[in-house]
C-alpha cells in the first residue's frame, strides 16, 4: 500500500474525509492537521494577528520555533511519502508541496471533488481525478508498479 502525503488547505472542508477514505483503503496517510504525536501548524500559534504582518514580520516568523517545527513535520512527511494527493481547492503551500514531490520523483495526483477552473500545469503531475474510484484506481496501479519493481 502507498505512503501518502495529502496536500490541501486548512480551509478545505473535504480534507478530513479524504484522509479517512485513504486510510480505509489500507494506505498510510500523513494528515497535516493531526500529525502523529503533534499539533498541526497554524500561523495563529505564533501570532493571532498574523494576517496583518508586514513582510519583515513574516520573514521573522518563518524562523520562529513553532514554524520551524511545523515545517520539519510536513517536510519529513513529504520525504517519507511515495505519493502526493493534491486535494483541491487549496493554496500556495499545497501546490509548493506537490511541485516539490513531483520534482523529487514521487507520484502526484490532483483530486478535485467538484468542477474547478482548468490548470494547464497539472500536466506535470500523474493525473487528475474527481471521484474516489478514480483515486482508488490510480493508487491500485501505483501499488502494482511498486510491487513489480
The residue range of the domain holding 91 is: 1-146
- Domain count within the chain: 1
pLDDT of residue 115: 85
Q: Please, which pLDDT band fits residue 5 given cuts at 50, 70 and 90?
A: very high
Q: What whole-number percentage of the chain has pLDDT above 70?
A: 99
pLDDT in tens, 72-110: 999 999 999 999 999 999 999 999 999 999 999 999 999
Element (H, E) at 135: helix 132-147
Has residue 138 got a pLDDT over 70? yes
Has residue 149 got a pLDDT over 80? no
Give mean pLDDT, residues 30-57. Answer: 94
Query: Which ranges of 45-111 would DSSP assign to H, the alpha helix?
Result: 55-62, 65-80, 92-103
When the pLDDT of each residue in the chain is averaged and rounded to a whole number, the result is 93
Has residue 46 got a pLDDT over 70? yes
CA 76/CA 146 separation, integer angstroms: 21
CATH code (residue 60)? 3.40.50.450
- Give exposure, 114-126, as e/b (b: 16+ Cβ within 10 Å): eeeeeeeebeebb
Q: Please, which pLDDT band fits residue 114 given cuts at 50, 70 and 90?
A: confident
Amino acid at each position: 500500500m502507498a505512503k501518502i502525503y495529502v496536500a490541501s488547505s486548512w480551509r478545505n472542508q473535504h480534507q478530513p474525509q479524504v484522509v479517512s477514505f485513504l486510510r480505509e483503503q489500507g494506505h498510510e496517510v500523513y494528515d497535516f492537521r493531526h500529525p502523529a504525536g503533534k499539533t498541526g501548524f497554524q500561523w495563529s500559534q505564533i501570532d493571532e494577528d498574523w494576517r496583518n504582518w508586514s513582510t519583515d514580520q513574516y520573514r521573522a516568523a518563518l524562523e520562529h520555533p513553532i514554524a520551524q517545527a511545523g515545517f520539519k513535520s510536513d517536510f519529513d512527511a513529504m520525504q517519507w511519502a511515495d505519493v502526493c494527493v493534491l486535494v483541491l481547492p487549496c493554496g500556495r503551500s499545497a501546490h509548493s508541496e506537490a511541485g516539490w514531490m513531483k520534482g523529487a520523483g514521487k507520484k502526484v495526483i490532483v483530486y478535485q471533488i467538484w468542477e474547478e477552473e482548468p490548470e494547464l500545469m497539472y500536466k506535470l503531475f500523474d493525473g487528475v481525478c474527481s471521484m474516489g474510484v478514480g483515486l482508488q484506481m490510480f493508487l491500485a496501479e501505483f501499488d502494482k508498479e511498486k510491487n513489480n519493481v
